[in-house]
Structure 1
Amino acid sequence: MKINKLFFQDKRFFRVMMLLGVMILCGVGFVSYRADLRRTAWVMQDTINYVGGQYIICDKFNADSTTKSLDRMVERVRQVRRDLELAGDHVNEEVLKACTEDLRLTGIVLLDPEGNITCEYRQNDEGWDELEEHLKKEALLNAARYPLKYYTTRLDISDGSLTDLAATARRNVPGVVVCYYHTPLQYSRNYKLSIQSVLSGYSAYAGSTIAITDGNRIIASNKETLVGMQVEDQPVLAQLRGQDERAGELIHIHADSAGYYGGRAVGRNYYIYVYFNEASIFTNLKSNVFSVLILYTLVLLVALVLRQKAAKEYQQEQSRRDWEYRRNLEEKAREAQRANHAKTEFLQRMSHDIRTPINGIRGMLEMADYYQDDLKKQTECRNKIREASGFLLELINDVLDMGKLESGEVTLEERPFELKELLDGMVEIVSKQARERGIEIVVRDYEVRHWHLLGSPLHLKRLYMNIMSNAVKYNKDKGKIFVECRETSSREDIAEIEFICQDTGIGMKPEFQKHVFDPFVQESNTARTSYGGTGLGLAIVKNLIEKMGGTITFESEPGVGSTFYLTVPFKIDQNAAAQEHVAQEEKNASIRGMHILIAEDNELNMEIAQFVLESAGAVLSRAMNGKEALECFQASAPGTFDVILMDVMMPAMDGFEATRAIRALDREDAKTIPIIAMTANAFAEDRKRAFEAGMNEHLAKPLESRQMKEVIAAYRGKKMQADSTAQADSTAQPGSKEQPDSKVQADSKAQPGSEVQADSKAQPGSKVQPDGGTGSEK
């Protein structure tokens, strides 16, 4: 009674609330209606995409299976032809029977050039009627006139079985030999993927109907009763087919006194239909309207006591939160989908590029095992293994470099280097690749005044090597490469160096030049197999040169070649003259007789390092982890070891921890003994960590024997230089006495990431002939 009394105390308020209630219900109904339609459209499109993808997979699998089967039939008919040639004039049914049984065929038919059967043998009559009619086709009989031609086909027999057929001309007598193999129905189903089997197990949303047609007939459906029926016999499908201009959209139609929503998509040779019963998709509409009606009634009753405004604000706040939640979910779903697509695309590319060199390495190992006594073949296999492993290393470096550049984790160095030595070393390395294809490298006169610079030589070398390697890779056989370097300007202590590389290769089309610096982009789909590479080289160059404060430009014309211009600013090394004499003495040093402590937990890496060093005359002490290396050094007398080679990632104690522990020991040589890192972590920040731990040098795996020996020998050269200086000082001061606690310490702190260049260098203005000079592998 109290509630009714409240209702009628203000009729105007009641009418407004009722009108508001009706508006809210209409709004909720409209929103729910639209939401159900959007969800249905999304489900329809997702279903079409899924079914289309499955259809493509099935079609490709069946095509591949058919191709392989027909390839086997070609081999069989070729063998039968050879057998018939051996039989000569004695070809009869017994000969055909023997061939049929040996090659596991169903039958063999011999035809004259007009298509008449001259002799035949078959194990059974299954599929013979359709096959006999096919033997009269002109395309098959044409094989008699073209001895090198093979005719193959797969016949779909009316009972659902398959017959694979191959025919070719007989070479000893005019005519055609036909071989065929019949696969019964119960086995043919096992060799083909059927889209119907996929749809039969597919859980359709809201009882939807899925149908695939060839245009007129239904070839597959999740409702098996529809399979084989004509499209025009199904009113829903017939109406959807008439809406070609709205393909892919959700369409509302009426058929059989009922309403439906559906859509249609067109494939290469098929059509996909998906439709829903109208009553099955608006499930949220009814429940939402009913729920809001009850809720509003309750709110209305509470509003009479508490105020309508508070209830309305609460409802609006809830609606806003729900909308934001759905928006965030949708955005996260889109981001996850983009990430998955990018990951899938990347893995597909990397799968091909990683498997190719691995396949080459494994194949060459098998060949080397087979030709154990053939030294020439063994050498050839090793060279090809080295090339394949080099490509694999280049691929890994490219991917890691690109990732570091994109994340901003690349750290540039600033250390002294000689530009001419770097350029000559690169020309020497690239000349080996060029000689294999008869390409001539012409080194023009260098116009550089300041050769000694400060910068990041490893990254600069990567820039120049990527450009020069591309010039070889995309060049023509017997082509040319022109290399030029000049100092465009210098101000105060800064020199601007321009590197120019011109080739006579295939060039680039104008439309591709717009995307030449995009990751993974190559001009044609066949470039990855024809020329190799990952499509990351120029992307790395672009990112790296911009990080170094430089620029890159190019000119290219298809069929003529390309020219790249790289300009990078460097600081001028003002102390270069004082360092040259020391560097030469370090370079001339040898490791023969040096006592080296090596810490390496990998047996294979240990064996390789031991072979390289002991063959050069060094004496080795082995430790399998950092803890053993520390204990071995502690147990040795001061001065026992000349150098320590330290792996970084080891069990028990890693290389960083072991180095810090050795440096902390209270003995004379603990602070001065050179410790060289050997690690697969090859970035500049990894070298920085090694130096911070107290290491003197950083060698990146895979180790190069020449570089490893030269780096170790450099520390003997430093020690010899220090001893020579100390001896000169002692001679210059007659009567001086050596203090008991005085120490002569070698400058064991080498520059981070130092590299050893090749001894032989290409001189400016010289030509590196394809058949001349000696190249060094890097």
Structure 2
Amino acid sequence: MNTISAQAVQRQNQDYTLLMNMLHVSVSKHLLDEHFTLIWANDFYYDLIGYPQAEYEVLYHNRPDLYYAENLEDWQAIQHVVVDAIIAGKPGYTTVTRMRRKSGEYVWVQLAATFVEERINGVQVAYTVMNNIDDVMQMRAEQSVTYDNLPGFVAKYQVGPQLQLKLLDANRKFLEFFGDDSWKNEEYIVFARNVERNSEQLEANRERLLSGLPVHFTAQMSDQYGNDAWLQINAEQIGVKDGEPVYLVIYLDVTDETELRQMQTRLEQQAAELKAALETARQASRAKSDFLSNMSHDIRTPMNAIMGMTDPAVRHLHDEGKLRDCLRKIALSSEHLLGLINDVLDMSRIESGKMTLTGEPVTLPETLENIVAIMQPMLKAKRQKFAIHLRHVRHERLWSDPLRLRQIFINILSNASKFTPEAGEITFVIEELPESGPDYADYRFTFQDTGIGIRPEFLSKLFEPFSRQADSRVDKTEGSGLGMAITRRLVDLMNGTIAVESQIGQGTTFTVTLPLQIQIEADKTPVHFPDLRVLVVDDDTIMGETMTASLMQLGVRVTLATGGLEALTLADQAKSQGVQFDAVFLDWKMPGMDGPETARRLRRKISGTTPILIVSAYDWSDIEEEATQAGIDGFISKPLFASTLCRALQIYVLKDTPNKLNDEQPNRIFAGRRFLLVEDNALNREIAVELLEQDGAEVEIAENGMEGIWKMKHAADRWYDLILMDIQMPVMNGYDAARRIRELPRDDARQIPILALTADAFAEDIQLARDAGMNGHLAKPLNMNALRKEIQRQLITAVHK
């Protein structure tokens, strides 16, 4: 049995050897020991090394390490590959090496080994296939010599559909620049370290690369050490592999040339920027020179009026009419001069980055009422029609900077009036857009006029400082040339936008969009009047429909007439049906039958107790006498907010008496009050004392902060009701004086209202006053109405405290 088994094994080994020899490739079996001991090899193994088997065994004892003794460097390289594969747990290894034959010549071979589970005397076994690749290496060497003779870095790529660049071959210079690791990846993307900076060039040449067309461009790339260089890339298709184009690419280092060009370009750009900056500076200088020239004239104009009217006023003290006329002109000129000065100060503060905004409660009805009051004299002087329309205004109470908001509106409206001929039209539209958030709403304010328009060449400079449109039709128009520049900056500060469209001879439209914070608690839904019936009479379709919609939101039943005759007809119809109107809202100016005439005729047809209310943008004082004679009961100022209509219905229909803070007559409103005025300027003291005593106040004076402290310290408890404090004074300024007063060891020193009176009218000045312990701030020159309201507010607040 054992004899048969041995014969079978021997025959199996013979068959295995015959099979290995038939493969026509070198196959050998080795131990994975320090010698890589040869266990067995086929005939092609010995043919490749050039030694017969018997001679090889006698000379080298089947130890490849002895065979490689004269080529120790190649042997050590093989050892590293084998050891690395074993440590990494790989199933085998592949490497390329030189091998010396018996004849002394060298051939290049590729070794491909596989580790198996078999062990001999505890040592693992490996099978190795060895291929002669000498022809391949020789061809590559010859090709490399050719590549090395070419200038620059040379590489051959196969280009994939996603611009994958599979490196097929490269010269020595390429590998020295990009690194030998290029051969370790099947797909070597030469732009891997440079994709982001060269993405535009790659995308620009994508179609050409995929189509096999020549490609030429310059790219900034980094070498294997991270050093940057500019490379000129020239690529030509030389073949196709696996259906994909194969490119020969030559990289030329043009760093010095490119950087020189870049430097030249930068220098040219800097020269152009310098030239543009110089021209801008010259234009700014010319603009400021023109501005100073214009301002010199504009300032002299109201100054001449003030000085020129003073003498006639003195000479006509006993002529009340003439004296009143002189004083009126002096007042108007003073306001104009103050406006010019404020424009210059505002622009200075804006350009220095010191302009800040306050956040205070604002009501749109009050804001527009103030604007109408300010604009009325200018509009009446030129007989201009002024209309204000509301669209979808749901929130009337907001948070903003009331002074700056009003300034934006007045600047635009003043310009509209200046550049609109007599009897022209100006329209102001307030529209609330869909809310942008729970606490904010976007408002669009549109200002449209039928004026002369703005020339296209000036339109682009409209918002630049010191710019004024020169036009023979408006040469008499005066101003600082800063109004629109200030408006633009204020809109920017409020995170809004401003746009302008204009056509010569047809007019101009300004559109301002502002996000404004809503007063959530204060902006409540108005009262409803479901049992009231109102007749609305207005020839303006938009105004009539707006008024109707607003009244219907209040629950009122509305009948709309577009003119006086229609109103009379509707009144007759209502009377015949037994229906009575609870109020009539009547437009003042209408074609055909105007408001007064319509009121007279309506009074004969409706109940004598039904209030007829005039709706108009005119000043009530201008029309009160005629309106009263026509039987009109009251006046409602446009624009018609829901709160305005609600208040009118409560007062005139429901007979509710409104509780107003300022209902008192201004005369003697401060009777029984004692104020301490701290002011170093004698003229300012005289003016303030005169104004306050006219309202019944008793005024004591101090000429500097230190004297003010002394008077407060030695006065009886609660002797003074309020302190008016100048800021810039000798000995001690107003800020320090206010702080020292607050520190006095008496209760009234901590509670008494202190108002700052100063020519410094910016937000930071107001904050400085608050930080010093003051309760309010008023800017000089003093406006008596503003002063009166602020003192009233402070006194009422002090009482509540």
> TM-score under structure 2 normalisation?
0.46
**Structure with greater contact order relative to length (CA < 8 Å, sep ≥ 6):** 1
Larger Cα-atom Rg: 2
**Which has the larger share of strand?**
2
**Which has the larger share of helix?**
1
> TM-score under structure 1 normalisation?
0.48
